Structure 1
Amino acid sequence: MSFTPAIIGEGYSGWQLLRKQLPAQKQAYVATATLQREAAYFRQKISGAVTAGDLVSDRTLLKVALTAFGLEADLNARAFVRKVLSDGVAGTSALANRLADKRYRAFASGFGLDGTGLPGTLDKEFVDKVIADFYTRSFEAAVGETNSTYRLALNANRELTETARNSALTEDAKWFTIMGNKPLRTVFEKAFGFTASFGALDIDQQLQALKARATAIFGDSSVSQFSSPDRLEKLTRDYIIKSTSTGSSGSGAENALTLLRQATPGR
């Protein structure tokens, strides 16, 4: 028996209804036979995957692993995934360290299949977390089949909270983490009123523009502020409303540069 998440309404009001129903809907979705079968297979077989080759050669293991890190689109890119895993994260030349999207680094680091240490596949706590994340992201993907905006909002609520609370990162490092995570970046660009041309700016200009816009909206340039449920919900609301409204005014690059000028002393 399959279960499709019920999306009632649209826009911000639809989001509020989904949030209220989220625990029950997720529980029903996770209980479906397909998800339970894939999770059980992963738990039973993953300890046998001690090299990158072992993992990428088993499609079900790879599907669960990639989905848990939000990288399921790479399921058929086995050579690429194998390179990410076999390189690990120890060297500056490792592929995961050179990719802008730091989800690959988390993936390679977590599985630890570069041969330099004990693989994460032998760690029960890591395996449990992978399965839990597989359930969560699979549910979000199912929501996205009906409403892609809500999928990104769910993802942002989860991932942004983790980033905001990460005391090991500086505020700039947290912003760079967001900039290197396409789903999170999309939420901020839309909520802050930037268009695709924003990406044409120099990376440091993008950083300053994001911080300036955060200050203009929230009175605070930090990412850490989004550990507050109220701040996170305002960001989510702005993202959903702007995603469902028709049209947008101005150039994202022009808007960002205007913010930079306003944030620059003496300008």
Structure 2
Amino acid sequence: MSFQPILPLDGYVGWRFLQRTLDRQQETHAASTQSQRDQAYFRANIAAVSNARELVADRRLLSVALTAFGLQDDLPNRAFVEKVLESSHRDDRSFVNRLSDKRYLKLNQAFGFGDSIVPRNQFEGFADALLSTYRDRSFEIAVGAQNDSMRLALALERDLADLAAQPSSEATRWYTILGTPSMRRVFETAFMLPGSFGTLDLERQVDILKTRTEKLTGSDEVAQFADPEAVETLIRRFFLGEQVQQINAAAVAGSGALTLLQQGQSSLRAMLGR
């Protein structure tokens, strides 16, 4: 039987419960029979792969690799994934660099098929590093099957802290947030941004996120999220924003139901001649 996370509560209270039980639940998930089989197969076979075509030809290896970067839904899209992997990340005009979703760039860089004489999967320690990420991501997927908001919060804890520690400019960090679906969704929900937000110019989107973030935390820099307390502040606001969305949706649904009831009553009165 597949692993089933224990998530007895929703919202921020449920998130705090998951945090308290996280280590034990992750260990249980990683020890499941299917997870152990997938990891053993990857560890035994990944070094034999010499190019992108060989990787996408092996469904089990590709499944682990894509899952490690949150791209498991692309498993059927082998031609697309092969193109991503063969692309040069050093060329600003390359296919992978033109994709807005920066998870593909991370996948490309992890293997190095497009730029390295010897791909990185040939190096010692490659399997251990990728499988560590795979275990985290596959646990998040299991959590997301029950509660997608918890999955997003887990992903944010890892990805935002990693981004804050990178030696890149603040502008690059903000563009990475906008180009990473899970982080983007957390920020948009936390600040209750409308659906039209994504249609704005990228620079305008960054300005709005920076302004809202400074109001929340006192700083508009992504670097602040190297501090777990700053990440937790954003996560708490995310769950609050989601709760507000749910209340608004329920109010709209209730208003619609009331309108239909009133229309029905008017029709009934007309039929009765009242």
Q: Which moved more, 1:31-40 or 1:99-108?
A: 99-108
Contact 1:84 1:94 in 2 (8 A): no
**1:146 paired residue number:** 146
Q: Which moved more, 1:149-158 or 1:107-116?
A: 107-116
What is the distance in 2 between the residues matched to 1:16 and 1:83? 41
Q: Which moved more, 1:101-110 or 1:18-27?
A: 101-110
**2:271 paired residue number:** none
What is the distance in 2 between the residues matched to 1:233 and 1:125? 31
Residue 187 (structure 2) pairs with residue 188 (structure 1): yes
Residue 97 (structure 2) pairs with residue 97 (structure 1): yes
What is the distance in 2 between the residues matched to 1:10 and 1:218? 24
**1:229 paired residue number:** 228
**1:54 paired residue number:** 54
Displacement after TM superposition at 1:230 (Å): 1.4
What is the distance in 1 between the residues matched to 2:214 and 2:67? 34
Report 1:183-262 matches (<5 A). Answer: 183-245=182-244, 246-247=246-247
Residue 232 of structure 1 aligns with an amino acid whose one-letter code is: V
Residue 208 of structure 1 aligns with an amino acid whose one-letter code is: D
What is the distance in 2 between the residues matched to 1:24 and 1:173? 35
What is the distance in 1 between the residues matched to 2:198 and 2:173? 18
**1:261 paired residue number:** none
Q: Which moved more, 1:106-115 or 1:178-187?
A: 106-115
What is the distance in 2 between the residues matched to 1:4 and 1:11? 19
Q: Which moved more, 1:126-135 or 1:145-154?
A: 126-135
Number of residues of Structure 1 aligned to a counterpart in Structure 2: 248
What is the distance in 1 between the residues matched to 2:109 and 2:228? 29
- Change over 3 Å in CA distance of 1:218–1:86 after alignment to 2: same
What is the distance in 1 between the residues matched to 2:165 and 2:248? 32
Residue 192 of structure 2 aligns with an amino acid whose one-letter code is: G
Q: Deviations over 1:208-266 (max 9, x none)?
A: 111111111112110111111211111001101221332459xxxxxxxxxxxxxxxxx
Contact 1:15 1:150 in 2 (8 A): yes
Taking structure 1 as the reference length, the TM-score comes to 0.90
Q: Which moved more, 1:224-233 or 1:155-164?
A: 224-233
The structure with the larger Rg is 2
Displacement after TM superposition at 1:100 (Å): 0.9
Residue 179 of structure 1 aligns with an amino acid whose one-letter code is: L
| Runs of at least 5 residues in structure 1 that lack an aligned partner in the other structure | 250-267
What is the distance in 1 between the residues matched to 2:123 and 2:43? 11
**1:34 paired residue number:** 34
**1:161 paired residue number:** 161
**1:78 paired residue number:** 78
What is the distance in 2 between the residues matched to 1:37 and 1:137? 16
Contact 1:163 1:174 in 2 (8 A): yes
Q: Deviations over 1:83-125 (max 9, x none)?
A: 0111231323321111111111111111011264211111122
Q: Deviations over 1:19-61 (max 9, x none)?
A: 0000000000100010110010001010111111000000000
Residue 179 of structure 2 aligns with an amino acid whose one-letter code is: G
What is the distance in 1 between the residues matched to 2:248 and 2:125? 46
What is the distance in 1 between the residues matched to 2:223 and 2:92? 28
Q: Please tell me the root mean square deviation across aligned C-alpha atoms, in Å.
A: 1.4
How many percent identity over aligned positions?
40
Residue 123 (structure 2) pairs with residue 119 (structure 1): no
What is the distance in 1 between the residues matched to 2:180 and 2:24? 29
Taking structure 2 as the reference length, the TM-score comes to 0.87
Contact 1:52 1:85 in 2 (8 A): yes
Residue 17 of structure 2 aligns with an amino acid whose one-letter code is: L
Residue 42 of structure 2 aligns with an amino acid whose one-letter code is: F
Q: Which moved more, 1:157-166 or 1:84-93?
A: 84-93
Residue 174 of structure 1 aligns with an amino acid whose one-letter code is: R
Residue 182 of structure 1 aligns with an amino acid whose one-letter code is: P
What is the distance in 1 between the residues matched to 2:124 and 2:41? 14
Residue 175 (structure 2) pairs with residue 176 (structure 1): yes
